[in-house]
Amino acid sequence: MDQNYNGYDPNGQNYGGQPQYDPNQQMYGGQPQYDPNGQMYGGQPQYNQNQQMYGGQPQYDPNGQMYGGQPQYDPNQQMYGGQAYNTNMQSGGRNISGFNLNNLNKNTIIGIAGVVVAAILVIILIGAFFGRGKSSPKAVTNAVVKSIENGKSSTLYKLYDNKYIKYYEDEYDVDKDDFKDYVEDSLDDEIDYIEDYTGTIKDINIDDIDIDKEKLDSDDKKDAKDEMGFKVSQVAEITADLEVEGKDDDDDFTLYAYAYKRGFKWYLVSWYVY
């Protein structure tokens, strides 16, 4: 082929595309090329063997010198995008021997995993102490007794599951305030019943407690979900013998309560004292 298109022409002519190197050091338009005499003609500067840089972006200097712009890779200093890296990095005045990118990635992954696990544990603990429900049927029983002692319906209200409250509202066509009133009224009724025999309640001791737990089979779980709209894994029937110390007299009573388990928590369904 007589002519080389978009390539080097030994006669110094260039046909189309970008111009190439001219051995007579002449440039014809486009981008300038390397000049062995260190002269640059227009366009962007290139590498000069005498290590001089003129404008544009700096290139690699085998003597380890950097001229302006962004630093490049230096085999003597292990440079990556402007950040110095070597095997004896300093952190807070301490040398960290053997540090490398692989260790950083591994440590980062382990650290992230640790943070995630810790966050999950915190959420579980917050739910256990400040959320609704309790960790066991016995804990539910203790909370019911405490609400009778201090007369606070808020203690009792927190034993009910939000899903059960929603079911109750739909079933009896009431709102959340109505359910709170129901909880408060039921507590007042049971306290009044006890104080008819003891006078003002001073202290309540749980003498004995019997908890009959039952895991639901697939059919019972289905029935519970069809009835209330959510899954229940276990149910518990609770019987507790109470010794009540009153202002006027002491007497014994029995607490009956029913609870269910959803997820990791136990929730109250109903209760009364006899």
Q: Do 109 and 178 fall into the same domain?
A: no
Q: Could you tell me which residues come within 8 angstroms of residue 24 by beta carbon, excluding any fewer than 6 positions away?
A: 12
Q: How confident is the model at residue 109 (pLDDT cuts 50, 70, 90)?
A: low
The tens digit of pLDDT for each residue in 215-230 reads 999 999 999 999 999 9
Task: Report yes or no on 68 lying in a domain.
Answer: no
User: Is pLDDT of 55 > 50?
Assistant: no
Q: Do 137 and 257 fall into the same domain?
A: yes
Q: Do 146 and 125 fall into the same domain?
A: no
- Count up the domains in the chain and report the number: 2
Q: Do 263 and 139 fall into the same domain?
A: yes
Provide the residue range defining the domain that includes 122. Answer: 100-130
CATH of the domain at 263: 3.10.450.50
Q: Do 107 and 170 fall into the same domain?
A: no
How far is residue 139's CA from residue 194's CA, in Å, rounded to a whole number?
22
User: Is pLDDT of 237 > 60?
Assistant: yes
Place of tokens 């894994």: 233
The tens digit of pLDDT for each residue in 113-130 reads 677 776 666 555 554 455
Q: Do 252 and 160 fall into the same domain?
A: yes
Q: Could you tell me which residues come within 8 angstroms of residue 85 by beta carbon, excluding any fewer than 6 positions away?
A: 78, 79
Identify the DSSP state of 22. -
The tens digit of pLDDT for each residue in 68-104 reads 444 444 444 444 444 444 444 444 444 444 445 455 5
Q: Do 138 and 125 fall into the same domain?
A: no
Q: What pLDDT, on the 0 to 100 scale, is given for residue 248?
A: 97
Q: Do 141 and 249 fall into the same domain?
A: yes
Q: What pLDDT, on the 0 to 100 scale, is given for residue 116?
A: 72
Q: Do 169 and 263 fall into the same domain?
A: yes
Q: How confident is the model at residue 207 (pLDDT cuts 50, 70, 90)?
A: very high
Q: Do 178 and 255 fall into the same domain?
A: yes
Strand partners, 208: 241
